[in-house]
């Protein structure tokens, strides 16, 4: 949606440094994300992937550098303006982060009630649609505590889609899911991204799903605390010679073999 309205690069990260107090997590990160692409933020555990994501979605003010959203400096904007920009984001948190005192349908409806002037009927229609995208139409009136881990993530995705965001952020979408459920979620991300033309940013170290869906990415290293490689996970796997990246991807190559056959079988 809205491909013609904005330049083709909705998200730029420039010289970004994120830190907790004086402890620098990642420094001087620069990359751009193409509209409609599925962008991977890769790296080993504890290298600062999730922290970078927090700086991108507005949960952690970076120590220096900027995040440009649709050509606008996100962190330089005032509080109200920043919240407005942030409404173009949909974020799926690691464990779904559903509000536990509301039903699944109420979770999806809340952003619509707060930020649109739609009538209750219209909101109900949209909520039903979003839940049917993720296959949870039957679970609309359930409480989050009654859902399984995979269902919770899908409900979280439906909530992230509530306002028809331009950019979707996923924090470890496959963490804690079995391979089959995780693959279904990957397919869902692909469908949604293609269907709405949404730009997707995924933080993950799950190689099978990175290879399957991402077409661009950045590789963060915990030692030098910055990005050491740029490119799609597949490209990095096939032609990157940096030892740290090799070590990460080679482990994936082993896991990749049987998965390949499955892909042919589909």
Partner 1 sequence: MSPADLSPPDWRLDRNGTLAVLRLSGDWIACETGVRTADEARRILEDASATTVRLDASNLGRWDSALIAFVKMLRELSGEARAQAVQIDDAGLPEAARRLLALAVESGTAGTDEAMLHPSLATRVGEKYFDAWAQAVEVAALVGDTALRCAAAFARRTHTRAIDVFQIVCDAGAGALGIVAIVNGLIGAIMAFVGAVQLQRFGAGIYVANLVGIAVVREMAAIGTAIVMAGRTGGAYAAHLATMQGNEEVDALQVLGIRIFDFLVLPRIAALVTMMPLLYLYGCAVGLFGGFIVSLATLDLTPALFLEQLQGAVALKQFEIGLAKSVVFGALVALAGCHIGLKAGRSAADVGRAATAAVVAGIVGIIALDAVFAVCTNALGI
* Distance separating alpha carbons of residues 19 and 61, to the nearest angstrom: 9
Pick the stretch among 73-81, 123-131, 173-181, 253-261 that binds partner 1 (CB under 8 A): 123-131
Facing residues of 221 across strands? 226
Helix, strand, coil fractions of the chain, as percent rounded to 5: 45, 20, 35
Asked whether position 132 contacts partner 1 by CB under 8 A, the answer is: yes
Facing residues of 171 across strands? 203
- Pick the closer one to partner 1 by CB: 22 or 100: 100
Q: Output the six-digit token pair for 104.
A: 């699944």
Q: How many CB atoms lie within 10 A of CB 134?
A: 24
Give the shortest CB-25-to-partner 1 separation in angstroms.
Answer: 25
x/- mask, partner 1, residues 37-76, rule CB under 8 A, reads ----------------------------------------
Judged on CB neighbours under 10 Å (0-12, 13-18, 19+), 190 is middle
Give the shortest CB-197-to-partner 1 separation in angstroms.
Answer: 7
Indicate which single residue of 22, 45, 145, 239 sits in contact with partner 1 (rule: CB under 8 A): 145
Contact 219, 248 (CB under 8 A): yes
Pick the stretch among 17-25, 61-69, 119-127, 245-253 that binds partner 1 (CB under 8 A): 119-127
| Residue-level length of the chain | 266
- Pick the closer one to partner 1 by CB: 121 or 223: 121
Asked whether position 130 contacts partner 1 by CB under 8 A, the answer is: yes
Pick the stretch among 47-55, 94-102, 203-211, 237-245 that binds partner 1 (CB under 8 A): 94-102
Asked whether position 15 contacts partner 1 by CB under 8 A, the answer is: no
- Pick the closer one to partner 1 by CB: 61 or 117: 117
Asked whether position 259 contacts partner 1 by CB under 8 A, the answer is: no
Asked whether position 114 contacts partner 1 by CB under 8 A, the answer is: no
Asked whether position 22 contacts partner 1 by CB under 8 A, the answer is: no
CA distance readout (Å), 256 to 39, 114, 237, 253? 20, 44, 11, 5
* Distance separating alpha carbons of residues 123 and 110, to the nearest angstrom: 9
Facing residues of 14 across strands? 66
Tally of helices (H runs) and strands (E runs) in the chain: 9, 10
Asked whether position 105 contacts partner 1 by CB under 8 A, the answer is: no
C-alpha angle 242-40-76 in degrees, rounded to nearest 5: 110
Indicate which single residue of 39, 133, 170, 248 sits in contact with partner 1 (rule: CB under 8 A): 133
Judged on CB neighbours under 10 Å (0-12, 13-18, 19+), 204 is buried
- Pick the closer one to partner 1 by CB: 197 or 255: 197
Residue numbers of the site for partner 1 (CB under 8 A)?
A: 1-2, 5, 99-101, 112, 115-116, 118, 121-122, 125-126, 129-135, 137-139, 141, 143-145, 161, 163-164, 188, 191-192, 194-197
């Amino acid at each position: 949606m809205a491909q013609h309205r904005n330049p083709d690069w909705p998200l730029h990260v420039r010289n970004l440094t994120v830190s907790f107090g004086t402890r620098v997590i990642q420094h001087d990160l620069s990359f751009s994300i193409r509209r409609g692409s599925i962008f991977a933020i890769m790296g080993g555990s504890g290298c600062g992937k999730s922290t970078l994501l927090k700086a991108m979605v507005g949960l952690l003010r970076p120590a220096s550098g900027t995040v440009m959203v649709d050509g606008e400096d996100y962190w330089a904007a005032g509080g109200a303006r920043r919240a407005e920009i942030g409404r173009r984001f949909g974020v799926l948190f690691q464990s779904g982060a559903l509000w536990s005192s509301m039903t699944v349908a109420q979770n999806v409806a809340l952003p619509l009630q707060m930020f649109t002037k739609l009538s209750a009927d219209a909101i109900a229609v949209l909520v039903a649609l979003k839940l049917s995208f993720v296959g949870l139409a039957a679970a609309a009136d359930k409480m989050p505590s009654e859902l399984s881990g995979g269902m919770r993530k899908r409900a979280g995705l439906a909530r992230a889609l509530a306002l028809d965001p331009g950019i979707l952020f996923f924090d470890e979408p496959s963490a804690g899911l079995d391979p089959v459920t995780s693959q279904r979620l990957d397919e869902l991300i692909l469908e949604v991204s293609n269907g709405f033309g949404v730009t997707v940013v995924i933080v993950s170290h799950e190689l099978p799903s990175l290879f399957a869906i991402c077409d661009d990415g950045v590789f963060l290293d915990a030692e030098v605390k910055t990005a050491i490689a740029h490119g799609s996970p597949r490209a990095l796997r096939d032609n990157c010679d940096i030892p740290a990246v090799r070590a990460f991807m080679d482990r994936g190559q082993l896991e990749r073999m049987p998965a390949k056959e499955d892909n042919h079988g589909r």
